[in-house]
Amino acid sequence: MKMTPLKRSWLFAGLTLLVIVYMAVAWFLTANAAGSRLCQGVLITVHDTSEIHFVTPRELSEELGDLPKTARSTRLSDIDIDSIERMLYLFDKIERVNVNKLSSGKILIDVWPMRPVARIFDSAGHSYYINRAGKRIAAEPGYYLDVPVIKGDFNPDFPATSLIPLIDYIESDPEWRDAISMIEARGPGDIILVPIIRGHVINIGDSTDYPDKFRRLKLMYSKVMGAKGWDFYREISVKWRGQVVGIRRNAVTSGPEYMLDEQNDEEASVTTAELDEGVKAPVQADKPIPAAKAKLERLQKEAKKEASDEKKSETQVPKKPEKEPKKEKRTPNI
């Protein structure tokens, strides 16, 4: 018997409804069975590729308390995997954690240990490691991580993570990585690099324009430091755009003794700013070096002029006043 299109539609709708009801009942029965199913154990996997394994499954098992021992007598529905994740995130050595219930009935805990990028020393004597997110790890005597060392005090306005781009730049260049021993953060605008070769420090200013600053620093080393010596300057500054300033170690004055002034982006000319003993020309961090240089030249000219005037006044011999001509005595006419 041939079915009409209307009957075929009704048949198709009825079969679809039966499938939906079957799936709903099956899901309910499966969920109910899974909820009453006992946990089959806890698996802990530590994804650690570093040489120093400072997070172990045994250590994490202790952080979980009684769960590893009581898991097999606990229903899966009674185990809150979200609370497990939150608890493990409080452990300072963990960077990321993921907890799942497996179809086998076991709880799988995947842990990624912290990957420190720097070790911090603050003025209070505290020492700790940080990761890229700024999370801290206590520095324990039991392990040592070969990461860049930063000395300084940080706050929400000037976090330690603001120096991570500088760390990345230094680590990406083998020459600078081998040359820099420590970073000292005196403030957001005074970041100091301490070279392995002692004798001077490098002020790179703020955390911007690293390629240009390090290019100028290399130019200073190649043109000047080889001839002057590594300990001739107590500080080399590249914080001002287009210039390198060297402050002499035993300078009588507080101004810059040496300047490298770039004429354009490709070439740089080296000029010397000699300071007289009586000239005071401090370099202020809030003023551009060209202004300080102009002030220095003006002060030098004024000092030299004053010295010249004083010398003239001391050596000049005053002229004797000319004698008045004697007046002739006249005999009065009688």
Strands 201-203 and 233-237: parallel
Beta carbons of 253 and 281 less than 8 angstroms apart: yes
Give mean pLDDT, residues 117-131. 89
Q: How far apart are CA 183 and CA 33, in angstroms?
A: 59
Give mean pLDDT, residues 226-252. 82
On the question of pLDDT at 59 being above 80, the answer is yes
Measured between alpha carbons, how far is residue 270 from residues 215, 290, 292 in Å?
15, 14, 17
Predicted pLDDT at 260: 59
- The overall average pLDDT reported for the chain is 76
Q: 41-55, 187-201, 295-309: lowest mean pLDDT where?
A: 295-309
pTM, two decimals, is 0.62
Give mean pLDDT, residues 206-212. 90
Phi, psi of 236 (to 5 degrees): -115, 125
